């Protein structure tokens, strides 16, 4: 079969797919996240590269069945795991439209309307941060990793304009960047890619609230200057990956101003709070940043990929990313920049349309309600889990992430590695039937159980089920480890 399907074939296949997606969406409130343990090592058919095609409807149906029955379902209301959401249905539709129209957002000349929609969407986010037109620049990215990389690249170019052409050779001094011990690993990756090296990231210890310790930060900056290094930037995290902690942003902004350092806020998760009037104060100070990472594919319910990089120094984007090419005409009369000149990408997918369409159809207030109800649900989860009397809260809860430790670890004064083993076993037990999903992580070096509210479909009944399962799992694991007499 050639690629050029006729209208009736397209309709048959398209309607079928919409039906399958609709069945899937209808199932999400009760769908197990994955098959039970022991049934997860499934192989996609076929094994060999298909030389000749098969019947499209049969293949599509098979694929849908296999992926929905045997896959891992992040959109399920039972997914209480990492920061990946249930996508809005409007976003699903926008993604199909983007694939069909395939706009190329590298340059204005070939995507006037699509690029303008994208710039408008970036503008809506910047406005919510508190930045006015003309005061900011930025683009959609593939996610927080690219946004953090962009921030580090722009900070470097702003400080050392010659680096974009000449590289780091000849710089003479070693630039260093500061972030908390809880900041995301994409910062180390960014510094490695930029040639500064992973060790250029100074990991600052955190307080018992898992927030960057300001005195330790100031001491590290002073020690590095003393040692002849060049402090370049501080990254404050708004919504740390493991704990949801928010670094003290206004105080970090003040340190950066005094020390003449670039202030980047990694708000991949927590910067979504700018869409809430009621809870905006949790990220107070974000507007003082020189640059910001925000991922609509986290708390704003977008499917992958949708990250955003914003900066208050739009004049630094072209020196960092801008190059001329002979193969692209410039758009006549465009007041907006070509995306390829202000970002790391060349070919650019329209990652903004899903967010634009969701906002057009549901409005900002839908996000206000989402954030509000998820924060309330997270508070409920905290009380339900504490009510089991089997767990202690490990980190104060700021957003929708919860960190817990098995109380027995404290009572028995177990060594940290033993606690990590217990937590791992509890998670194995809770996730064995595949219904729900949570994980373990470390916060400030200590093992914790981690769970979060991230799906707009999650309700109290899902939390109640998790609390019961966790209690049972802890009992099983404790009896296995310490004998049946061990009280919980
Ligand atoms: C705080 C933080 N920053 C950055 C990232 C990286 O974002 P992405 O996965 O979109 O590349 C994450 C991902 O979990 C994150 O939690």
- Per residue of the chain (488 residues), give pLDDT as tens: 789 999 999 999 999 999 999 999 999 999 999 999 999 877 777 779 999 999 999 999 999 999 999 999 999 999 999 999 999 999 999 999 999 999 999 999 999 999 999 999 999 999 999 999 999 999 999 999 999 999 999 999 999 999 999 999 889 889 999 999 999 999 999 999 999 999 999 999 999 999 999 999 999 999 999 999 999 999 999 999 999 999 999 999 999 999 999 999 999 999 999 999 999 999 999 999 999 999 999 999 999 999 999 999 999 999 999 998 888 777 667 889 999 999 999 999 999 999 999 999 999 999 999 999 999 999 999 999 999 899 999 999 999 999 999 999 899 999 999 999 999 999 999 999 999 999 999 999 999 999 999 999 999 999 999 999 999 999 999 999 888 655 55
- How far apart (Å, rounded) are the C-alpha atoms in residues 269 and 299? 6
Distance 409 CA to ligand 1 centre (A): 30
Q: What pLDDT does 334 receive?
A: 80
Distance 294 CA to ligand 1 centre (A): 9
Distance 216 CA to ligand 1 centre (A): 24
Atom number of ligand 1 nearest to Cα 82:
14
- How far lies 84's CA from each of 75, 110, 229, 241, 275, in Å? 8, 32, 38, 11, 18
pTM of the model: 0.97
Shortest-distance Cα residue to atom 6 of ligand 1: 144
Atom number of ligand 1 nearest to Cα 298:
10
- How far lies 77's CA from each of 73, 74, 462, in Å? 9, 8, 7
Q: What pLDDT does 328 receive?
A: 74
CB of residue 266 inside a 6 A radius of ligand 1: yes
Atom number of ligand 1 nearest to Cα 239:
1
Cβ-contact 470, 426 below 8 angstroms:
yes
Q: What pLDDT does 471 receive?
A: 95
- How far apart (Å, rounded) are the C-alpha atoms in residues 469 and 434? 12
Atom number of ligand 1 nearest to Cα 183:
1
Atom number of ligand 1 nearest to Cα 295:
10
> Which one of 82, 249, 269, 450 would you pick to mutate in the ligand 1 pocket, going by the greatest count of ligand atoms within 8 A of its CB?
269
- How far apart (Å, rounded) are the C-alpha atoms in residues 431 and 436? 6
Of 347, 320, 313, residue with least CA distance to 142? 347
Shortest-distance Cα residue to atom 14 of ligand 1: 241
> Which one of 81, 140, 145 would you pick to mutate in the ligand 1 pocket, going by the greatest count of ligand atoms within 8 A of its CB?
145
Instruction: Match 């690249």 to its residue by tokens.
Output: 153
3-class secondary structure, 11? helix
Distance 325 CA to ligand 1 centre (A): 32
Cβ-contact 309, 293 below 8 angstroms:
yes
Helices 460-482 and 364-387 pack at an angle, to 10 degrees, of 30
Instruction: Match 């149906």 to its residue by tokens.
Output: 61
**How many Cα atoms occupy the beta-carbon half-sphere of 124 within 13 Å?**
19
Distance 37 CA to ligand 1 centre (A): 28
3-class secondary structure, 203? strand
Distance 219 CA to ligand 1 centre (A): 27
CB of residue 190 inside a 6 A radius of ligand 1: no
Q: How many Cβ atoms sit within 10 Å of the Cβ of residue 388? A: 16
Distance 361 CA to ligand 1 centre (A): 27
- Containing 363, the helix (H) or strand (E) segment is none
3-class secondary structure, 164? helix
Q: What pLDDT does 46 receive?
A: 79
Identify the bridge partners of residue 308 per DSSP, sorted by sequence position: 140, 294
CB of residue 236 inside a 6 A radius of ligand 1: no
Distance 81 CA to ligand 1 centre (A): 14
Structural tokens at position 467: 């609390």
Domains of the chain: 99-362 (3.40.640.10), 364-482 (3.90.1150.170)
Burial of 3 (0-12, 13-18, 19+ CB in 10 A): exposed
């Amino acid at each position: 079969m050639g690629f050029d399907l006729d209208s009736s074939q397209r309709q048959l296949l398209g309607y079928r797919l919409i039906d399958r997606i609709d069945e899937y969406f209808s199932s999400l409130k009760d769908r197990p996240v994955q098959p039970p343990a022991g049934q997860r090592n499934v192989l996609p058919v076929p094994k060999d590269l298909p030389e000749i095609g098969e019947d499209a409807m049969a293949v599509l149906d098979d694929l849908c069945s296999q992926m929905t029955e045997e896959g891992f379902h992040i959109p399920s209301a039972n997914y209480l795991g990492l920061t990946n959401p249930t996508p809005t249905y409007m976003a699903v539709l926008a993604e199909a439209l983007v694939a069909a129209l395939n706009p190329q957002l590298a340059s204005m000349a070939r995507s006037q309307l699509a690029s303008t929609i994208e710039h408008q969407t970036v503008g809506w986010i910047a406005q919510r941060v508190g930045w006015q037109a003309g005061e900011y620049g930025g683009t959609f990215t593939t996610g927080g990793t690219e946004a953090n990389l962009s921030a580090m690249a722009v900070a470097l170019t702003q400080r050392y304009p010659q680096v974009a052409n000449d590289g780091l050779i000849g710089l003479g001094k070693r630039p260093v960047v500061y972030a908390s011990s809880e900041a995301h690993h994409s910062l180390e990756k960014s510094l490695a890619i930029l040639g500064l090296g992973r060790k250029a990231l100074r990991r600052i210890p955190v307080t018992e609230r898992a927030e960057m310790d300001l005195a330790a930060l100031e001491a590290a900056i002073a020690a590095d200057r003393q040692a002849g290094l060049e402090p370049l930037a501080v990254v404050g995290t708004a919504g740390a990956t493991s704990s949801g902690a928010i670094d003290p942003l206004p105080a970090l902004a003040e340190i950066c101003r005094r020390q003449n350092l670039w202030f980047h806020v990694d708000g991949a998760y927590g910067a979504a709070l700018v869409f809430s009037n009621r809870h905006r104060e949790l990220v107070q100070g974000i507007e003082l940043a020189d640059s910001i990472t925000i991922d609509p594919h986290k708390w704003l319910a977008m499917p992958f990929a949708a990250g955003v990089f914003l900066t208050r120094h739009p004049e630094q984007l072209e020196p960092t990313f801008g190059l001329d090419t002979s193969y692209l005409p410039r758009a006549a009369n465009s007041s907006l920049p070509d995306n390829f000149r202000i970002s790391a990408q060349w070919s650019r997918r329209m990652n903004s349309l899903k967010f634009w369409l969701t906002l057009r159809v549901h409005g900002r207030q839908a996000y206000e309600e989402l954030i509000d109800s998820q924060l309330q649900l997270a508070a409920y989860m905290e009380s339900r889990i504490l009510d089991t009397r089997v767990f202690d809260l490990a980190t104060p809860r700021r957003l929708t992430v919860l960190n817990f430790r098995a109380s027995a670890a404290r009572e028995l004064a177990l060594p940290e590695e033993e606690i990590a083993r217990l937590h791992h076993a509890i998670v194995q037990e809770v996730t064995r039937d595949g219904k729900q999903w949570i994980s373990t992580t470390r916060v400030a070096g200590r093992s914790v159980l981690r769970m979060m509210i991230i799906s707009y479909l999650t309700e109290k009944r899902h939390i109640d089920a998790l609390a019961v399962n966790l209690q049972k799992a802890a009992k099983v694991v404790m009896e296995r480890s310490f004998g049946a007499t061990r009280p919980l």
